[in-house]
Chains A and B, each alone.
Chain A
Amino acid sequence: DAKTTQPNSMESNEEEPVHLPCNHSTISGTDYIHWYRQLPSQGPEYVIHGLTSNVNNRMASLAIAEDRKSSTLILHRATLRDAAVYYCILILPGNTGKLIFGQGTTLQVKP
Chain B
Amino acid sequence: NAGVTQTPKFQVLKTGQSMTLQCAQDMNHEYMSWYRQDPGMGLRLIHYSVGAGITDQGEVPNGYNVSRSTTEDFPLRLLSAAPSQTSVYFCASSRGVDTQYFGPGTRLTVL
Contact = CB atoms under 8 A, between A and B. Distances in A.
A46 B32 CA distance: 15
Given A97-B31, A97-B48, A97-B92, A42 B104 contact: yes
B89 to A, nearest CB: 10
Given A43-B90, A49-B97, A96-B97, A101 B102 contact: no
Interface in B52-71: 58-59
| Interface range for A | 20 to 34
A54 B97 CA distance: 17
Contacts, number: 63
Given A97-B31, A97-B33, A46 B50 contact: no
A99 B37 CA distance: 13
Interface string A92-107: 0100111111111000
A91 interface: yes
Given A93-B97, A99-B100, A101-B42, 17 more contacts: A32-B97, A34-B100, A43-B92, A43-B102, A44-B100, A46-B99, A49-B97, A96-B31, A96-B50, A97-B50, A97-B92, A97-B94, A97-B100, A101-B35, A101-B43, A101-B44, A104-B42
